[in-house]
Amino acid sequence: MSMETLLHDEIQAVDVNLEEDEIEFIDQIGTEHKSYSIAECLPCFNSRTELKTGIPYKNILWCEGIDEVSSLDVLSIAYLHAVKNDFQLKKIYIRVKNKITPPKSGITTSSTKELILSKAYPHGITARSVLILINPMGGKGHALEIYRTKILPVLEAAQVNITYKATEYHGHAKDIARDLDPNLYDMIICCSGDGIPHQVINGFYEKPDKGVKAFSKVIITHLPCGSGNGFSLSTHGTSDATHATLLMLKAKKTRLDLMAVTQGVGDKEKTSLSFLSQCFGIIADADIGTEHLRWMGPIRFDLGVLYGILKRVEYPCDLYVKYVSKKDNLEEYYSNNYYRDDSQMADLSAQDLETFSPKLDQPPPSDWERFSSDVTSKLNVFYVGKMPYISKDVQFFPAALPNDGSMDMIISDTSASITETISSLSLIEKGTHVLQDNIHHSKISSYRLIPKLKSTDGHFLSVDGELFPIEPLQVDILPGVMISLLQDGSFVSTSFT
């Protein structure tokens, strides 16, 4: 969005008709207004479709009656006006000349205002009272500016009740979430990279009830203000903060699976929650191992991966897996599990936050399979994820589903040639890398990874982009634990959609 602040324009009242998809201008002032529809979930601006003159309901943020002229049915409309690659926050007064029937959802309305809002928010208004958590240092220090200029004006125009907290130290967001009274807020919006959402879910998990009450009530969502925005890209489909804010406001409450990551045994055992991914191998090393080169931008990651491929670096390990679906059946599995009824939103119980796999010092269950040592002895990429995008243009887990009770596991090894490996990883933007013969791709519900590195120097294991010890870990799916916001209840479109 090429502007310092969002613009607020007011024009005199115009006559309109309420149509099924938009408010249609019917007088001269209105017909001079050209509007674009901001599509439900798009990763870029190119797919915006020009409509006839009017305001699409999906662009509307708020509607309010004007008391002094209420008898004339004049209303104030706040909305986002999209013109090419720019957004403007606008306000317009309208005089409604017709009426339409309420939406088919069964919602009854007693006023034109309520009717317009029900069309503007078909899934209901979810963001009434929100806690904003922002990492001021995120996004190379630009997070606060992004929030103030691109996010806050949209939330204010939508009449959202906002409480704002900036993190002051590493782990502060986890402390805030742990001590939070879940009755105070409907939603936590993480204006950051993926690190703050990771802290929030683990703060909930550190509550005495393991977050049962908090996870049952509070929506956790994310807006792109950091360098890694996999959460927002997977749920809202755009890296533009204004666009993402609008899509978030219009999205549907949906339950998401989380992953329980356990390391250590006995009194050293610790379980953390993961919402995005766990990574071991050249990709983890390229990500965390090149932090000192962050000034280079995204190219640092590409160079790190290329270095690992050319050096033929191997990460031997033992791997035990409980499969849900193997590669040959993934397309059928995806199709069968894409649409799931998530309308009940039942409260969680303590059992929903428990893991039932054996301890790490005990053998894996008999229904877990040991991954072939021909692969794991020469492993170079081990990546498990729950969301399709891990960063902009990186569709690493295209078959990921919000709440199917499984994780996507992707593995490769050095038995493939350098050319084959580079060729496969070059396809991650399209999400077709998982179809290549040298890529092992499956759906799993649990796994145990036991690293066998001779030396851990220069190597890393990451969970949601956060550094974890290189030691055995066990991960179990926690179905439907977190409430978030998705476009029509689904992740953004991928190569599997």
Coil, strand or helix: which one is 170? coil
Calpha distance 479→261 (Å, rounded): 14
Side-chain-side CA neighbours of 118 within 13 Å: the count stands at 18
Give CA separation, 429 vs 201, 396, 411, 418, in Å: 28, 8, 17, 19
Coil, strand or helix: which one is 200? helix
The structure tokens listed for 14 are 């115009």
Phi, psi of 82 (to 5 degrees): -105, 120
Instruction: Indicate which residue of 179, 186, 194, 302 is catalytic.
Output: 194
Phi, psi of 461 (to 5 degrees): -125, 125
Coil, strand or helix: which one is 249? helix
Amino acid at 35: S
Q: In which residue are the tokens 């509550």 written?
A: 207
Give CA separation, 226 vs 153, 183, 231, 310, in Å: 19, 28, 11, 30
Known catalytic membership, residue 267: no
Give CA separation, 48 vs 60, 92, 238, 340, 490, in Å: 16, 22, 13, 28, 20
Could you give the residue numbers annotated as active site?
A: 194
